[in-house]
Amino acid sequence: MRQISSISSLLKLLAFTLLFVSTNVAAQDAAAGEKLFKKNCATCHSWEKPGTGPALKGAVDRIAPGSYGDVDSWLKAWIKDNAKLRASGDAYGNAVFAKYGTPMSTFGNLSDAELGEIVNFLRVGPSTPPPPSGGNDKVPGKDSTNTEEGSDLWLLLIIIAVSALVIIIFTGVNRSMKNVIKTKAGEEADEPKSMWDAMGHWITTHKKLASIIGFVVFLTLGKIGWDALAGIGIYQNYTPKQPIAFPHDLHAGKNEIDCKYCHSSARTSKTSGIPSANVCMNCHKAIDEGSRSGKTEIAKLYQYVGWNPDSAKYMTKDGKMRNDTAIEWVRVHNLPDFVYFNHSQHVEVGKVACQKCHGEVQEMEEVKQFSELTMGWCVDCHRETEVQFAGNDYYKKIHEDAKAENKHKKDFKFTVDKIGGLECAKCHY
Ligand code: HEC
Ligand code: HEC
Ligand code: HEC
Ligand code: HEC
Ligand code: HEC
Ligand code: HEC
């Protein structure tokens, strides 16, 4: 009996592990579904806010599947051909249609597996929730760069857990076989009292293997901890997902639009700023298609500003001008509040190129944080970079004085630190 109970507890644990692995698989499924959703559905549906179609958060709970039996079958039929579903007399389908009036597109091209992935996504929702309003000020998280690494770690942990289980089960089976033989021979069986005893027993009898497994677990946990500590405050290569896939390479690179056409305040103020949608519309009233994403991404811009490309007019509803919604770009660069950084001082006065700090943005499809943005990074550059004094009488005088003072030093350079670029109060309020 005892043997059965310990085996059944092992089976429970195994089932739990399998469940864990399978939810992981479901999550992967949903990720594939999310891709399909973005490609096929996102022009009309968002998760939280109604657009051309309803917001899809909670859709799985409100749908009444009627004669389709269950929500999944209803959804698959609806997505594949909603007109056919409505024609079949389905009550819920006809009710949403009556409410929205615009027919949804049909998706006869999607396979049953793909439909399943989309349905999974509709249950789980977006992997990174859309930024709340005022998303511009969002402090960057490392989510977008780290998810893959995270799932690798999970995979590793799962593999370790499963192999440990397999080993335990093997020793269990091995022992019960021995016991069977022993009982037959009339000896008393030595059964383990519980799974933990079995594990303890296994560890004492397999010291080498146990210490290897222990070491791997230790390294894994250590790496997680170390990454978490080392990453605090440094977001180099941070590339958040933006509401519109705005490509710098096609604009600033291929079409050679000057950075300052869009980031015009870099010249005159502390911040460079992000252009408003009106700036985009200077060109995009006429350009409704890109070479990479076709019409999809530019259609999102039109959604935000309420532009109807067919009538070439801003859309009106009830005779009123439609309010445009600000595009919630997610901030890439973000110094802590206690640091003072001024763009015009660097770009205009210091004549530092944007690329020196931001990398070759004109070649990036998505902008990422190129530099560390640490104090050491600022200070190092101030130690190395010479002040631009041409055409600046104020600096010219200081520069001449400094040169006179340092006549004896052969390779004297008038660098930023010499005008106070290392003083704490210049960078800290
Ligand atoms: C051209 C715009 C458009 C596209 C593209 C589109 N939909 Fe729809 N969808 C709608 C509209 C509009 C409705 C409301 C019902 C109606 O008017 O037919 C709707 C309704 C729905 C509903 C029912 C929602 C509820 O609240 O009950 C679901 C689910 C849905 N769509 C899923 C999808 C999925 C998944 C895709 C992509 C494969 C997609 N839609 C693509 C416009 C669209
Ligand atoms: C057609 C307009 C346009 C042009 C030209 C342009 N940008 Fe941008 N830039 C944007 C928009 C819109 C964003 C916000 C979306 C994003 O981050 O991708 C942005 C974001 C950025 C960011 C990240 C800002 C943050 O959130 O921290 C940097 C850095 C940047 N641009 C630098 C440049 C540089 C350097 C150039 C020239 C090589 C340039 N941009 C040219 C429109 C433009
Ligand atoms: C000075 C003109 C100009 C401005 C301003 C401009 N664009 Fe564009 N945009 C273009 C051109 C030209 C293309 C086509 C580029 C190509 O595909 O080669 C384009 C293409 C695009 C695309 C599609 C790229 C692809 O993947 O195929 C998107 C999205 C886009 N622009 C968004 C924006 C946004 C958002 C803004 C405002 C921040 C903006 N544009 C401002 C000229 C402009
Ligand atoms: C000396 C380094 C340096 C140079 C040169 C520089 N930037 Fe920046 N940029 C930064 C830093 C640091 C931040 C982060 C500022 C913050 O978080 O307050 C930033 C932020 C930005 C942002 C985000 C919005 C904002 O203003 O905070 C944009 C857009 C941007 N830079 C564009 C540009 C463009 C375009 C140029 C060239 C005209 C340029 N930068 C030149 C260091 C630089
Ligand atoms: C690529 C080189 C470079 C980097 C990186 C850089 N700076 Fe500068 N910085 C300069 C130059 C050049 C000047 C001189 C401008 C001038 O002539 O007034 C300057 C001047 C300054 C000044 C004015 C100093 C004074 O005495 O007037 C401040 C403040 C400043 N930088 C802050 C920062 C901060 C904060 C960072 C990091 C977030 C930073 N800088 C990163 C090149 C750089
Ligand atoms: C050229 C600009 C600059 C100068 C000069 C400067 N700092 Fe900083 N400091 C920064 C930046 C940028 C950060 C933010 C670094 C980060 O977020 O990783 C920072 C962060 C800090 C922090 C927070 C701890 C940390 O490393 O994140 C302290 C404390 C600090 N500075 C003290 C000082 C003191 C004291 C001085 C004068 C000896 C000084 N700073 C001079 C730019 C500067």
* C-alpha span between 210 and 193 (Å, rounded): 20
Residue 110 has pLDDT above 60, yes or no: yes
Predicted confidence (pLDDT) per residue in 343-389, tens digit: 988 998 888 999 999 999 999 999 989 998 999 999 999 998 888 77
Residue 202 one-letter amino acid:
W
Kindly state whether residues 80 and 178 are assigned to the same domain: no
Count of structural domains, the chain:
3
Q: How many CB atoms lie within 10 A of CB 214?
A: 11
Q: What is the pLDDT of residue 265?
A: 83
Mean pLDDT confidence for 124-130: 71
User: Cβ distance 237 to 145 under 8 Å?
Assistant: yes
- Evaluate whether residue 125 is within a structural domain: yes
Residue 77 has pLDDT above 90, yes or no: yes
Residue 4 one-letter amino acid:
I
* C-alpha span between 228 and 105 (Å, rounded): 45
343 C-alpha to center of ligand 4: Å? 6
Kindly state whether residues 100 and 26 are assigned to the same domain: yes
Helix-, strand-, coil-residue percentages of the chain, each rounded to 5: 55, 5, 40
Mean pLDDT confidence for 209-226: 81
Q: What is the pLDDT of residue 203?
A: 82
Residue 133 has pLDDT above 60, yes or no: no
**Helical packing angle, 296-305 and 277-284, nearest 10°:** 120
Kindly state whether residues 90 and 161 are assigned to the same domain: no
Kindly state whether residues 164 and 114 are assigned to the same domain: no
Residue 76 has pLDDT above 60, yes or no: yes
Residue 134 has pLDDT above 70, yes or no: no
- Evaluate whether residue 263 is within a structural domain: no
- Evaluate whether residue 168 is within a structural domain: yes
Residue 245 has pLDDT above 90, yes or no: yes
151 C-alpha to center of ligand 1: Å? 31
Q: How many CB atoms lie within 10 A of CB 319?
A: 5
* C-alpha span between 72 and 120 (Å, rounded): 9
Question: Of 204, 229, 203, 230, which is closest to residue 217 (Cα–Cα)?
Answer: 203
Mean pLDDT confidence for 259-271: 85
Number of the ligand 5 atom closest to the C-alpha atom of 392: 17
Residue 232 has pLDDT above 60, yes or no: no
Number of the ligand 3 atom closest to the C-alpha atom of 292: 27
Q: What is the pLDDT of residue 192?
A: 53
Kindly state whether residues 152 and 219 are assigned to the same domain: yes
User: Cβ distance 67 to 93 under 8 Å?
Assistant: no
Kindly state whether residues 98 and 157 are assigned to the same domain: no
- Evaluate whether residue 184 is within a structural domain: yes
**Cβ of residue 45 lying under 6 Å from some atom of ligand 4:** no
What sign results for the dihedral spanned by CA atoms 355, 357, 360, 366? negative
Predicted confidence (pLDDT) per residue in 382-420, tens digit: 998 888 776 666 667 777 777 777 777 767 777 888 888
Q: What is the pLDDT of residue 200?
A: 81
Residue carrying structure tokens 């009550």: 91
Query: Residue 32's pLDDT band (boundaries 50, 70, 90)?
Result: confident
Pairing state between β 320-321 and 316-317: antiparallel
Q: What is the pLDDT of residue 128?
A: 65
Query: Residue 118's pLDDT band (boundaries 50, 70, 90)?
Result: very high
Kindly state whether residues 217 and 147 are assigned to the same domain: yes
Kindly state whether residues 117 and 160 are assigned to the same domain: no
What percent of the chain is modeled with pLDDT above 70?
A: 74
Kindly state whether residues 114 and 183 are assigned to the same domain: no
- Evaluate whether residue 190 is within a structural domain: yes
**Cβ of residue 264 lying under 6 Å from some atom of ligand 3:** no
**Cβ of residue 139 lying under 6 Å from some atom of ligand 6:** no
Residue 140 has pLDDT above 70, yes or no: no
Kindly state whether residues 422 and 389 are assigned to the same domain: yes
* C-alpha span between 392 and 413 (Å, rounded): 17
Q: What is the pLDDT of residue 146?
A: 38
Query: Residue 305's pLDDT band (boundaries 50, 70, 90)?
Result: confident
- Evaluate whether residue 210 is within a structural domain: yes
**Cβ of residue 77 lying under 6 Å from some atom of ligand 1:** no
Question: Of 131, 135, 81, 86, which is closest to residue 108 (Cα–Cα)?
Answer: 81
| Residue 408 in tokens | 């004896």
- Evaluate whether residue 25 is within a structural domain: yes
> Ligand 5 pocket: which residues have CB below 6 Å?
335, 339-341, 345-346, 349-350, 352, 356-357, 373, 377-378, 381-382, 385, 387-388, 416, 419-421, 426-427
Last residue within a domain, chosen from 202, 230, 258? 230
Q: What is the pLDDT of residue 193?
A: 62
Last residue within a domain, chosen from 104, 129, 154? 129
Q: What is the pLDDT of residue 131?
A: 43
Residue 231 has pLDDT above 70, yes or no: no
Residue 21 has pLDDT above 60, yes or no: no
* C-alpha span between 165 and 60 (Å, rounded): 37
Predicted confidence (pLDDT) per residue in 161-209, tens digit: 878 777 777 776 666 667 666 666 665 555 556 777 777 888 888 888 8
Residue 115 has pLDDT above 70, yes or no: yes
- Evaluate whether residue 338 is within a structural domain: no
**Mean pLDDT of all residues belonging to the chain:** 78
User: Which CA distances in Å does 384 have to 106, 375, 377?
Assistant: 61, 14, 11
The protein residue whose alpha carbon is closest to atom 24 in ligand 2 is: 332
Residue 226 has pLDDT above 90, yes or no: no
Kindly state whether residues 165 and 89 are assigned to the same domain: no
- CA dihedral (219, 224, 227, 229) in degrees, to 10, reads -110
Kindly state whether residues 209 and 121 are assigned to the same domain: no
Domain that holds residue 45: 16-129
Last residue within a domain, chosen from 230, 259, 294? 230
Kindly report the three-state secondary structure assignment for every residue of 28-57: HHHHHHHHHHHHHCCCCCCCCCCCCCCCCC
CATH at residue 125: 1.10.760.10
User: Which CA distances in Å does 246 have to 48, 274, 328, 334, 376?
Assistant: 22, 12, 12, 19, 31
Mean pLDDT confidence for 275-284: 90
